[in-house]
Amino acid sequence: MIVIFQLSIIFAFLALGELTVWLTGIPVPSSVVGMLLLAAALQGGVVKLRQVEGTADFLVRNLGFFFVPAGVGLMEHFGLIREQWLPIVVAAAVSTVLPGGFISYVENICRAMVEESNILGNSYVLLALTFAVFIVASRLSRRWGNVFFNPILITIVVLIAVLKLGGVSYSSYAAGGDLISFWLKPAVVALGVPLYRQLASIRRQALFILMAELAGCVAGIVSVVLVAQWLGASREVVLSLASKSVTTPIAMEVTQAVGGIPALSAAVVVCVGIFGGMTGFRVMAISGVRSPVAQGLSMGTAAHAVGTSMAISAAGYRYGAWASLGLTVNGMLTAMLTPSILSLMGV
């Protein structure tokens, strides 16, 4: 009963986010708006922390898992990725690392047989398979601690291989996978809890955070465009990569507005999140970045919700609060600035 009560509060704020976006038309996902509203309600005492804490913490801890079905969707775009894999991979990788560096710097300074038998064609079997693979992958990750044993990456790769070998389409998988993806928005709303826990620190450093986020946003957009152009990517691909460091709804909306391919943007967003989540803390350690604020902001900005999930798993909720803030601010800045920056760069 407690879980149902706490879920009802979280979904209420998701609904408020949907209503706010519908009324205002702001280019921000309803889940992000709901997250901010929840944090504000907690700060104002309208909602008590004990009324949402348990369920919110569970959703936030498992945020990365809710990205698995979207990652499996990469199999729908293998053709385009195969044609222009070099500029896509290099540009996405370079521009994922660079924003973290800028943010840290500024912040420190300021298939048929199987289908016939209806085994893998059953959505509940596919759903159970997703859970099973992710649980095994998570245990492998905790046991060996190797960067390549990322549970999200392993789950996506294994599921794509199974679906391809079994001749199962992504649409068949999505019938079960959508039950997992459904929880992504509530999980983002739940990020309002760790954000609320750090509101006092955020207020004290608001100017520095905004400067850092602006630097990281611009660096991410400019670097991915320049690298993709240098490697000969088509204009459509360049436009599709520009918003690759934000959550999928923002990325697809921005890409649609500038004339790119939203489906490609969605696929790249997932890859960038996994790459950033796997390498982010290691890159910052090599670079000598020690500040929890800089590390958290960098993970949320460069690797969106997946990076935020990794930050919480690796370093705790304090880092997760800064990562969720980076995710939010970078998403809004990217939505507002991408068209202008692309225009100034002559794209």
Q: What angle do CA 221, 222, 227 make, to 5 degrees?
A: 105
Considering only CA atoms, which of 325, 319, 303 is closest in space to residue 150?
303
What's the start-to-end Cα distance of the chain, in Å? 54
50: DSSP letter? G
Considering only CA atoms, which of 154, 72, 163, 155 is closest in space to residue 122?
163
How far apart are the C-alpha atoms of 299 and 307, rounded to whole Å? 5
Q: What angle do CA 298, 303, 304 make, to 5 degrees?
A: 95
pLDDT (0 to 100) of residue 9? 87
How far apart are the C-alpha atoms of 324 and 223, rounded to whole Å? 23
pLDDT (0 to 100) of residue 111? 44
Looking up tokens 């798993």, which residue turns up? 313
pLDDT (0 to 100) of residue 1? 65
How far apart are the C-alpha atoms of 326 and 281, rounded to whole Å? 15
pLDDT tens digit at each of 347 positions of the chain: 688 788 888 888 888 888 888 888 876 778 778 888 888 898 888 888 888 888 888 887 777 677 677 667 767 766 666 666 666 666 666 665 555 555 665 656 554 444 444 555 667 778 888 888 888 888 887 777 665 667 777 888 888 888 888 788 888 888 778 888 777 778 777 777 777 777 777 788 888 888 888 888 888 888 888 888 888 888 888 888 887 777 766 777 778 777 887 777 777 777 777 777 777 777 777 877 777 777 888 887 777 777 777 777 666 666 777 787 787 788 778 878 888 888 888 87
The DSSP element (H or E) to which 260 belongs, if any, is none
The DSSP element (H or E) to which 29 belongs, if any, is none
246: DSSP letter? S
| Residues in contact with 131: Cβ distance below 8 Å, sequence separation at least 6, in sequence order | none
How far apart are the C-alpha atoms of 144 and 299, rounded to whole Å? 22
pLDDT (0 to 100) of residue 91? 63
How far apart are the C-alpha atoms of 345 and 258, rounded to whole Å? 13
pLDDT (0 to 100) of residue 117? 47
Longest dimension (CA), the chain: 62
pLDDT (0 to 100) of residue 234? 84
How far apart are the C-alpha atoms of 86 and 93, rounded to whole Å? 11
DSSP string, 63-128: GGGGGHHHHHGGGGGHHHHHHTHHHHHHHHHHHHHHHHHHHHHHHHH---HHHHTTSTTSHHHHHH
Task: List helix spans (H) across the chain.
Answer: 2-24, 30-44, 53-61, 68-72, 78-83, 85-109, 113-116, 123-144, 151-165, 170-181, 184-190, 192-197, 199-204, 206-230, 235-241, 248-258, 262-286, 292-315, 317-344
| Residues in contact with 59: Cβ distance below 8 Å, sequence separation at least 6, in sequence order | 10, 183, 186, 187, 190
